[in-house]
Amino acid sequence: MAKLTVAGIPVADIVRLGPVIPVLAFDSAEQGENVSRALHAGGVKVLEITLRTEAGLEAIERAAQIAPDIVVGVGTITRPEQCALAKKAGAQFGVSPGLTKEMHAAAVEAGLPLLPGVMTPTDIITALELGYEIVKFFPAQPAGGVPMLQAFHGPFPALKFCPTGGITPESASTFLALPNVVCVGGSWLTPKAAVASQNWAEITRLARAASELSRPVR
């Protein structure tokens, strides 16, 4: 299988910077900057800031300037043209809930390393044909969770996953223990109540706990 190469930090390196990639959606760019700073203070080096709100692109731009060791990705890419917009805003990688050939081509053209979403064996085969070695399993828990990833390991032994969707602090370690999981995505690091009350210390505490989750060396 050919290794997919685009400009920037390879996805294979990004997913190994920490066991948990927080999945984030912000009401404002200012809120995004504050949350991103709190997460970074807790040891989280990789962020996925989604385009689920209008503040997404500006939040990415601000977060990318917080520290030299922070890696900011754009999440919920659903249209090819979003790849170039996110790259211009400062995103260093992209995450999508699914994958099309058009989206793949747009990511390559924009120089945006992509972590594409898969849910079925057909999705996986498409991703493999396009050269991907690491994919997002989404929505992880509703789509079968740990048993499904265990089942995928047989026919796709070389493929690595970042499961996202429905993962909790209690279940994260179970996912991380699987031989084909390199990290997990989760939203539990930023509880709505903590964000609303601007309790940045609580977010830093949760980030520190997530950063200390163990995973086998692979």
- Residues contacting 76, CB < 8 A, separation 6+: 50, 51, 52, 95, 96, 97
Residues 9 and 113 sit within 8 Å (Cβ to Cβ): yes
CA–CA dist 69, 116 (Å, integer):
23
Task: Given the residues 33, 61, 87, 136, select the one marked as catalytic.
Answer: 136
C-alpha–C-alpha distance, residues 1 and 83, integer Å: 24
**Amino acid letter at 179?**
P
β-pair partners for 93: 73
Q: Rounded CA gap, 168 and 187, in Å?
A: 8
Query: Is 88 considered catalytic here?
Result: no
With H, G, I as helix, E, B as strand and everything else as coil, classify residue 14: helix
Q: Given 48, 61, 87, 160, which residue is catalytic?
A: 48
The secondary element (H helix, E strand) that includes residue 95 is strand 93-95
Catalytic: 48?
yes
Active-site positions read 48, 136
